[in-house]
């Protein structure tokens, strides 16, 4: 069944009008008409079943038939804080695949060795929405603006949050991420730029309570490391 993103849809609504973009996709691309059934997601865990009551190309109207809350809620949260790559295609690939796997929050870091100074947040959010729909997820992850590394690690985290930094600085003890995952809660993992974190940044993270981890014996690209971290948490906890 066809799926549409409806961020303004509330559980108590009995009718809804699709956005112009989704209306065009519904009526002109998919050629759906009055009486056809569709599925809706609000990006907050809400999953709806609806029926088309008016297939207008710019304002397709729906009648809400059923609502389910917390459709694919997990007992753990994944927050990847990563330095954007110089080639944004690679970062867009990470966002797409991480959403397909299941991720709750993505923060973009401005590190000492970062080569990218700006990002197109709107484009990343559109990619995330598309990936959410494609993978039948009902939660849209939060994507945060580019933030200075020092500001990010100095923020207040919850006491039960699991905090890690994946780095390649020689002479520093590191632990297996897979073996460091213990119990549920929020897992926040720092992934550095293509030149890795500086030794000073690693030390700052350790002082802030982040545990140093390794993602395996291979030297991974930034976007691969970020996705591997996300996948590792799923493998250990998503049972």
Which pLDDT tens digit goes with each residue over 69-113?
A: 987 888 999 999 999 999 999 999 999 999 999 999 999 999 999
Tokens representing residue 84 in the block: 């954007």
- Per-residue pLDDT, 183: 86
- Per-residue pLDDT, 10: 94
pTM here?
0.93
**Domains delineated in the chain:** 3-68 (2.40.240.20), 76-237 (3.40.1280.10)
Q: H-type helices in the chain, by residue range?
A: 20-24, 88-101, 121-134, 149-153, 177-180, 199-207, 222-237
Q: By the 8 A CB rule, do 194 and 221 touch?
A: yes
- pLDDT above 80 (res 182): yes
Nearest-angstrom CA–CA distance, 149 and 53: 50
State whether the Cα torsion 155-88-3-54 is positive or negative: positive
Cα-atom radius of gyration of the chain, to the nearest Å?
A: 20
- Per-residue pLDDT, 239: 63
Tokens representing residue 230 in the block: 């996300």
Three-state secondary structure call for residue 238: coil
Q: What are 27-54's pLDDT values in tens digits?
A: 999 999 999 999 999 999 999 999 999 9
Q: By the 8 A CB rule, do 190 and 222 touch?
A: no
Angle, alpha carbons 122-127-130 (nearest 5°): 125
- Per-residue pLDDT, 217: 87
Q: What are 202-229's pLDDT values in tens digits?
A: 999 999 999 999 998 888 999 999 999 9
């Amino acid at each position: 069944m066809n799926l549409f993103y409806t961020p303004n849809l509330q559980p108590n609504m009995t009718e809804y009008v699709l956005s112009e973009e989704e209306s065009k996709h519904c009526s002109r691309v998919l050629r759906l008409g009055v009486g056809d059934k569709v599925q809706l997601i609000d990006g907050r865990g809400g999953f709806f079943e609806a029926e088309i009551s008016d297939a207008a190309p710019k304002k397709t109207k729906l009648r809400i038939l059923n609502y389910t809350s917390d459709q694919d809620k997990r007992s753990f949260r994944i927050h990847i804080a990563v330095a954007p790559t110089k080639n944004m295609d690679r970062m867009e690939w990470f966002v797409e695949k991480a959403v397909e796997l299941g991720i709750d929050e993505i923060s973009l870091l401005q590190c000492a060795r970062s080569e990218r100074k700006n990002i197109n947040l709107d484009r990343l959010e559109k990619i995330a929405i598309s990936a959410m729909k494609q993978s039948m997820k009902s939660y849209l992850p939060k994507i945060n603006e580019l933030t200075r590394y020092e500001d990010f690690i100095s923020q207040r985290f919850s006491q039960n949050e699991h905090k890690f930094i994946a780095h390649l600085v020689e002479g520093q003890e590191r632990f297996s991420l897979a073996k460091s995952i213990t119990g549920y809660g929020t897992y926040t993992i720092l992934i550095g730029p293509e030149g890795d974190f500086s030794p000073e940044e690693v030390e700052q993270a350790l002082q802030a309570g982040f545990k140093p981890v390794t993602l395996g014996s291979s030297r991974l690209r930034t976007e691969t490391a970020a996705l591997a971290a996300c996948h590792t948490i799923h493998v250990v906890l998503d049972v």
